[in-house]
Chains A and B, each alone.
Chain A
């Protein structure tokens, strides 16, 4: 990161929009849905002022994601944002974006579900984001910030990764993170070399026509295309796992939490540490690829893992898979869209687990 001293107070939603524009994303297509309306509002204000700016309030999320598809096909940076029910509606387009290998950024400021749910923050879209979400054998890089600063930083990273690996990247924000305001340092991600967009549709002047297609009827060719996608996903798994380790050096119990829940858990860990409990935390920043190695490595000295989520338990499946039975895993979560747990509540849960599972065995 290239650093500059100018810090400004921004909401998570505004930080995301600001970071997108500064990343060269001058095209935005979206449809209103709470709790992320500040993003399209910000974009509608700022993008039309740019020479190459474009903003369309689409008639639906379905249309919005397909406008993104069209803009991405020209090789330009483009973004859409929404919240859970709207993201469900976009899944068709996301599957096509993955198949056509078109770079774009999609932010989901997650709210309570299923169905219309409510507008309160949630983490219940974990499966949808990390398992593909639409039809077919594909994955989407999914980045989960936990502060407004990190929203700002990861949004830039998302555009970079989208271009690097030619595909949609999801920012798994949360309603809470979008709505809260924090000081943000407007620092710039270092620009590294990106592959040329020699596939982009720009009008075929002076060259043969290009085609972007996901209908592949020729015998064996779709299988080859899927293997090609799979090699890319393997490469992403090798290079792009991200996580933060907090007080893990001497920990015998590890909390695993991401996003807003990780922040609450951090507060709780500070409390129980004061009581002498050796507790640390692994915070996945990339939900896919999941930082399984960091968790497996922790199991060398941690006997118990406590997964905390604002859902009835989704990421816990990835934690269990990462551990391959090497350590015990328990879960504490509450369905999203309800009350937001506080550090005292988390502290009690952590202490209970510590005395029942760790101190007992050591």
Chain B
């Protein structure tokens, strides 16, 4: 019998701790798959964030270090400058990347650090119980804006990917909504491209993933996917924001 589907070798035999309907397990799986395709794994050093994805090292059989909250791209800079041939991947949530780590992210991108970021946007602080994030949508309720985000007092959602895509040091930014198998494949293709660009030394690359957080959104997994497509994707439209090689 022909084998058409199997568990990626790089996915350790551990059970994901993520909630039902969460996007992290899919993303971890795809990272494992892409890492297996080339010599990526041999060169890969991943930086795990503070947040739900901190435990990446329990799932992926690659070299992984933790970074303090928000500092992933600074740590990535240190690694890449120490081993220029390495494949450096930061994996960050929206609180980590767009709030506490906005400075580090902006400057690593500004310097054109040859590293790749997977930016998982679920519009809230998932691990700490669903507080407002810079990405929280207008009118979206969270535990620190229970009546919904009010731009008068809470400010507006921050689209950091869009800002980063304007920088000359950034070679590739794509946004994907993790809502269907077709879109999962889009993420896989984007990650492969980002790794390729990094290997070619083209600059900083980032893939933003609009990812469900059913637990904190208080929606079913199915309704969460609908919410991504009908509400979230309006503020954060999927697509290629910049691709310097294709230009």
Footprint of B on A, CB under 8 Å?
Answer: 27, 29, 54, 56, 58-60, 62-64, 66-74, 76, 78, 92-93, 96, 100, 201-206, 208-215
Contacts and interface: CB of A to CB of B under 8 A. Distances in A.
B75 A203 contact: no
Interface in B36-87: 41-45, 47-48, 50, 54-55, 57, 60-68, 71, 74-83, 86-87
A353 B75 CA distance: 52
B104 interface: yes
A3 to B, nearest CB: 32
B74 A63 contact: yes
A205 B42 contact: yes
A66 B42 contact: no
Central interface residue in B48, B74, B80, B111, by most chain A CB within 10 Å: B74
Interface residues of B, number: 37
Interface string B85-127: 0110000000000000001100100010000000000000000
A203 B44 contact: yes
Top 4 A-B pairs, shortest CB-CB distance:
A70-B78, A66-B74, A205-B42, A54-B81
Contact of B86 (A59, A66, A93, A203): A203
Nearest to B72: A66
A70 B83 CA distance: 10
A99 to B, nearest CB: 9
Contact of B82 (A70, A206, A209): A70
Given A59-B104, A100-B65, A203-B45, A209 B77 contact: no
Given A93-B68, A96-B68, A204-B44, A67 B62 contact: no
B128 to A, nearest CB: 14
Nearest to A215: B54
B68 A92 contact: yes
Nearest to B83: A74
A271 B244 CA distance: 72
Contacts of A73: 45, 65, 75, 78-79
Contacts of A62: 71, 74, 103-104
A66 B79 contact: no
A56 B65 contact: no
Contacts of B76: 70
Contact of A78 (B63, B82, B86, B87): B82
Nearest to A201: B63
B64 A211 contact: yes
Nearest to B110: A59
A211 B68 contact: no
Contact of A209 (B54, B55, B63, B86): B63
B23 to A, nearest CB: 21
B104 A63 contact: yes
Nearest to A67: B78
B46 to A, nearest CB: 9
A95 to B, nearest CB: 8
B236 to A, nearest CB: 26
A46 B18 CA distance: 47
B107 A70 contact: no
A58 B74 CA distance: 8
Given A66-B75, A203-B45, 4 more contacts: A58-B107, A92-B68, A203-B42, A209-B60
A208 B44 CA distance: 12
A78 B78 contact: yes
A67 to B, nearest CB: 4
